[in-house]
Structure 1
Amino acid sequence: MNLHRHNPAALSPPTGFSHAVTATGTRLVFLAGQTALDGTGAVVGESLPEQFATALANLLAALAAAGGAPHQLARVTVYTTDVEEYRNQSAELGRIWRRLAGRDYPAMAVIGVVRLWDRQALVELDGTAVLP
């Protein structure tokens, strides 16, 4: 399995994402959207960074259960109920990402939404990974 990250000089420099990721491998893992739910199904964390950390940890736990690791993420989509707050907290969110998932960034998008399934949820992450 190989993931190759492509960041052409003609595009703006990526910060916390890759412009394109090509993958060769034998198994795709499609990861369902994860929010800041604990093991009982309750949303935990009041702030966006707290919820982002839990949602990312949940996404990585699902990936690990499928036999994968963070560096095998090819694509992640972030859904947030407040894009402006996400931008304002981007440095902290980046630190959380690097602490939990490292520096092999997948192709990413951030999408603003009116609300998520659980009303208290501020952020949701889903993704695709390529495993050997």
Structure 2
Amino acid sequence: MSLHRHNPVELSPPAGFSHAVTATGSRLVFLAGQTSLDGEGKVAGSTLPEQFELALGNLLTALAAAGGTPHDLARVTVYATDVADYRVHAPELGRIWRRLAGRDYPAMAVIGVVRLWDEECLVEVDGTAVLP
């Protein structure tokens, strides 16, 4: 399995994402949206960075259960209830990402949403990984 990240010089330099990712491998893993629910199903964390760390951690836990690592992530979508707040916290969220998932960035998008399933949730993360 291999992922190749493509960041053409003709496009704006990416910060915390790759413009395109090509993947070869034998297994696709589709990761359900994860929020900051704890092991008991209760929303944990009151700030966007706290909730982002928990949501990303939950996503990586699901990925590990499927036999993958953060390096295997080809695509991640972040759903935020307040994109302006997400932009304000972007440097901190980037540090959280690098600490938990490293610097091999997947293709990513941040999408503003009115609300998430659990009203107290500020962010949800889903993704696709390619495993050998």
Q: Same fold (TM over 0.5)?
A: yes
- Supply the AA of the counterpart residue of 1:13: P
Aligned to 2:120: 120
Gaps of 5+ in 1: none
Counterpart for residue 92 of structure 2: 92
Identical-pair percentage: 79
Q: Deviations over 1:68-122 (max 9, x none)?
A: 0000000000000000000000000000000000000000000000000000000
Q: What is the CA-CA distance between 1:45 and the residue it aligns to?
A: 0.3
2:73 maps to 1:73 = yes
- Equivalent positions of 1:1-132 (< 5 A) are 1-132=1-132
3-state DSSP class of the match of 1:16?
Answer: coil
Runs of 4+ in 1 over 4 A off after TM superposition: none
> Mind listing any 5+ residue stretches in structure 2 that lack a counterpart?
none
The two structures, once aligned, show a CA RMSD in angstroms of 0.2
Q: How does the TM-score come out when normalised to structure 1?
A: 1.00
Relative to the length of structure 2, the TM-score reads 1.00
Aligned residues: 132
